[in-house]
Amino acid sequence: MFTIEHEFDATIITLIDEGRAELSDDVTISAFEDCVTLEQLDPRSQEPVRITLSMVQLNDLMAALDLPEGSYRLMRSGGEEA
């Protein structure tokens, strides 16, 4: 299950674990104009852990989900490497 909320400066997506096994804490994804953050509560410390991805890193991640094992460099629009 997931929820989507549109705020002034970001789109917030929350992923809710509904699996049958031991459940993980919700993951909150905040999409801003220049980056995306992922946040989840650390079960050991009870502190939130945040990862920030640039838009280039996010595009690389999306491409990587559909590629076989290997090392890649994506070509950006205009023929430049990123």
Interval 27-58: pLDDT, tens:
999 999 999 999 999 989 999 999 999 999 99
Domain assignment of residue 77, yes or no: no
Domain assignment of residue 76, yes or no: no
Domain assignment of residue 41, yes or no: yes
Query: With contact defined as beta carbons under 8 Å apart, do 4 and 11 qualify?
Result: yes
Query: With contact defined as beta carbons under 8 Å apart, do 52 and 30 qualify?
Result: no
Domain assignment of residue 82, yes or no: no
Residue 77 clears pLDDT 80, i.e. is over it: no
Domain assignment of residue 7, yes or no: yes
Q: How many domains does the chain have?
A: 1
pLDDT band, very low/low/confident/very high, at 12 (cuts 50, 70, 90) = very high
Q: Which pair of tokens denotes residue 9?
A: 């400066």
Residues 13-38, buried b or exposed e (16+ Cβ, 10 A)?
A: bebeeeeeeeeebeebbbbeeeebee
pLDDT of 73 reads: 86
Q: What is the DSSP letter of 61?
A: H
